[in-house]
Amino acid sequence: MARKSNEETKSNKKKSKNMKNDVKNENIKYVVIVESPSKAKTIERYLGKDYKVIASKGHIRDLPQKEFGVKIENNFEPEFQIIPNKEKVIKEIQKETKNKKVLLASDMDREGEAIAWHLSQLLDLDPQEKNRIIFSEITKNAILNSVNNPRSLDLNKVDAQIARRILDRIVGYKISPLVWRVLKNYNTSAGRVQSAALKLIIDRERKIFTFKPKKYFKIFLDHNGLIIPLTKENGKTLKPETINAKKKNEIFDYLKDKEMKVTSIEEKETFKNPPSPFITSTMQQSAVSIFNWSSSKVMKIAQDLYEGIETPEGSTAFITYMRTDSTRISEEAKKASLEYLEKNYGKQYVGNYINKGKKSNVQDAHEAIRPTDVNIDPEKAKKLISGDHLKLYTLIWNRFIASQAAPAKYLEKKYIIQDENLKYSFELTSKKCIFEGFEKFWKSSNGENYFELDKNEKITL
């Protein structure tokens, strides 16, 4: 009897919970559909009780896995199917969106636009309806602004993604069998990108094979550990490529009994400009180089930082969208970064970053990768995140704040060393940092190399 009573209690609790959820769902007017559940949790923090945020968990439809799926003779029409194991997700989305206003909030790239389009097809939404919202950062202001300014689907971007999928399928299905005939014992295939990249590599390798090497010499003075290159002959630039064995011997014979000394010291101040903020490729390159991570790991951690991570303050997004080829930043972000620099480091550290014009091969769909809140510096971030997330966030924060900082200032001294007849000149530049500027946050590879030589100082050969 006791067991039965416990089961009845559990059943009543479950019914009560479902009734509460039904009442809650009745009050909901809008359903926002994003790609990932973690992003849904972060966004739901910023929207009121009228909104519910759910996730499609990535793509929901695609070309069939075991069939060609493209009607080439019928204007390359694709035959989309629901991705296996996504039926449950779709049923849940259809249930949650019934009699509700739907806002499609998948990522802002081509893939995200395609996901939004597929959802609109399955939910029977008008593609011309203004139900598409996009944002490059998951912050309250960005989310509320996007909800208040929806747009219709960008069908050009959708067509671009579908065309790419069709090309993937044509190349994969039509060319891979030819590859298998030639490379029977290798598990390989042809691809839209990898095949073209392979041809570029082969073309370069053929050039390497046919290259005829030419022997030449570089000549240096070694003075007390300073390696000083030969640069001029009779006042004219002497390129190493022009110094063969015969010429090298002539120079050695001439210099062997000559006295060398510092004949000139040229002094000037130079400036080194800060780097641009990260784009996807530069972020990957830096993280791979510094942390020895794979590119896929870099992108996974960046995705977490963009979508939101559970912190003591709730689910929080730390960076803007991580798939971008633009170094542009918003005026709001620029203003915040300059205020941060002046407040924490002084006016002398404030830079004048200029948004560079769009290049012909850059989409410029969204901003560079930057912190959503520049005031969450690495010290403050330590209280919210840890491990690899903290490492990558610190890298992104440092690069961004460096991009907004003032140029570094160096004192340069160029020493010119010549023989007594002034026939041959050796030159070396000494460099000392006199104001670190952006390098306080982001060290450049070729930093200080300071030494001093006196005018007329004799140089030992």
| Contact indicator for 69, 48 with CB cutoff of 8 Å | no
Residue 41 CA to residue 72 CA, distance in Å, equals 42
Q: Distances in Å between the alpha carbon of 193 and those of 44, 173, 186, 381, 431?
A: 38, 14, 19, 38, 44
Measured between alpha carbons, how far is 460 from 442 in angstroms, rounded to an integer? 38
* CA neighbor of 399 nearest in space, from 271, 269, 289: 289
Q: Phi and psi (nearest 5°) for 68?
A: -65, -50
Q: How many CA atoms lie within 13 A of 25 on its CB side?
A: 13
Kindly report the three-state secondary structure assignment for every residue of 286-320.
HHHHHHCCCHHHHHHHHHHHHHCEEECCEEECCEC
Is position 173 annotated as part of the catalytic site?
Answer: no
Give CA separation, 230 vs 32, 439, 452, in Å. Answer: 67, 31, 19
In three-state secondary structure terms, 398 is helix
Catalytic residue among 51, 306, 321, 424: 321
Q: Are strands 220-223 and 314-316 parallel, antiparallel or unpaired?
A: unpaired
Is-contact 231 427, C-beta < 8 A? yes
Q: Which residue shows structure tokens 């559970």?
A: 310
Which structure tokens are listed for 341? 């620099």
Which candidate, 424, 415, 396, places its Cα nearest to that of 223? 415
Structure tokens at 279: 């784009």
Measured between alpha carbons, how far apart are the two ends of the chain, in Å?
Answer: 104
SS3 185: coil
Q: Are 321 and 366 in contact (CB under 8 A)?
A: yes
By annotation, the residues acting in catalysis are 321
